[in-house]
Amino acid sequence: MYRTWMRFFTPGPAHHRLGLVCLGVGLQYGRLPTVGPRTLDHHVAVVISTGRGWYAAPDGRRTPVTAPALLWLTPGVPHHYAPDPGTGWDEGFVDFTGPATTTYTDLGYIEPGRPVVPLADASGPRAVIGRIARAARRDNHLLEVETGAAFHELLVALRRARADLAPDGHPVLKALARDACLPLTVADHAARHGMTPAELRTAVRRGAGRSPKDYLLGIRLGRAKELLASTELPVAAVARRVGYDDPAYFSRLFTRRVGTPPVRFRAQQGRAVPGGWSDRVPDPADPPVIGRTDPPAAP
């Protein structure tokens, strides 16, 4: 015996221009029937919470599937899978498509070459799939946008849930973020971690979906924006604070990446910050309020 619920949508052209749309969602459990062999023209993420089964590649080789796990079904790739007939499994699935899938694949959030992905915990992804299912009521006039937005969140939840990645990221990524504004090259960072530059590139690409240089640059420029917006430090001083001894090079880099020079960014975004600037993220349960006299949190 098995139980199944599913609903499918047909987003319009305007929704497709958002970049990512849901085409359907389903929740199933029990001794489900075998799926395929079949080939689809869109992506599907299948999150298996309990149970076990198998997935067959196009060449017929079977890979065991043990929950919690994720199946990536990729457009144009034949697939064939099923739960164990004796135990069944519990699954939630979301069909999706859109041009943003290419970018998410480049960043490593969607893995066409890895159809079976072990998860450390399926509760986060299943909670998002549950929200997509609740949004799928037929009288929801926000259906296409609400489910599309939730699917972006699902991709993040699936990334965090991967068994081969710590929920808060690879320790090397945390160390790079901590030391990003030091005047160090990528080779210097690699040496500090006992790695070759190639090994560091592999670790950062796997964990963050980008090169070490791009990862460090994003953190440095984010910090530079904060300093430009919240202090009166000269641009040269801001450059030094974020790891660049040459202010002219920093200005060219900032302009190329941000799209506006540092001086203009400051003119647009700058504001006085009484009491100073803090790097501490506010507690959502105790946010800053107008008229509060508490001293600012220490950076």
Please enumerate in sequence order all residues whose Cβ is within 8 A of that of 166, keeping only pairs 6 or more positions apart, or say none: none
> DSSP secondary-structure letter at 137?
-
8 A C-beta contact, residue 209 and residue 108: yes
Tell me the mean pLDDT in the region 173-197. 90
Confidence of residue 295 (pLDDT cuts 50, 70, 90): low
Confidence of residue 274 (pLDDT cuts 50, 70, 90): low
Structure-token pair, residue 127: 């909670």
Share of residues in the chain with pLDDT > 90 (%):
69
Tell me the mean pLDDT in the region 141-165. 92
pLDDT over 50 at 126, yes or no: yes
> DSSP secondary-structure letter at 188?
H
Question: Can you give the pLDDT at residue 204?
Answer: 86
Question: Can you give the pLDDT at residue 288?
Answer: 66
pLDDT over 80 at 111, yes or no: yes
Residue from 44, 39, 41 nearest 28 by CA: 44
Confidence of residue 277 (pLDDT cuts 50, 70, 90): low
Q: Is residue 82 classed as helix, strand or coil in its secondary structure?
A: strand
Average pLDDT, the chain: 89
- CA 197 and chain centroid, separation: 24
8 A C-beta contact, residue 122 and residue 48: yes
Confidence of residue 299 (pLDDT cuts 50, 70, 90): very low
Rounded to the nearest 5°, which phi and psi values hold at 49? Answer: -90, -40
Question: Can you give the pLDDT at residue 296?
Answer: 53
8 A C-beta contact, residue 74 and residue 62: no
| pLDDT tens readout for residues 224-235 | 999 999 888 999
Please enumerate in sequence order all residues whose Cβ is within 8 A of that of 14, keeping only pairs 6 or more positions apart, or say none: none
pLDDT over 60 at 48, yes or no: yes
Angle at 266 between CA 262 and CA 270, to 5 degrees: 160
| pLDDT tens readout for residues 67-81 | 999 999 999 999 999
Q: From residue 118, how far is each of 87, 122, 169, 225 by CA, in Å?
A: 19, 10, 16, 38
8 A C-beta contact, residue 49 and residue 126: yes
pLDDT over 70 at 215, yes or no: yes
Structural domains in the chain, CATH included, are 2-161 (2.60.120.280), 171-269 (1.10.10.60)
Between 292 and 201, the higher pLDDT residue: 201
Structure-token pair, residue 273: 């910050």
Tell me the mean pLDDT in the region 143-156. 96
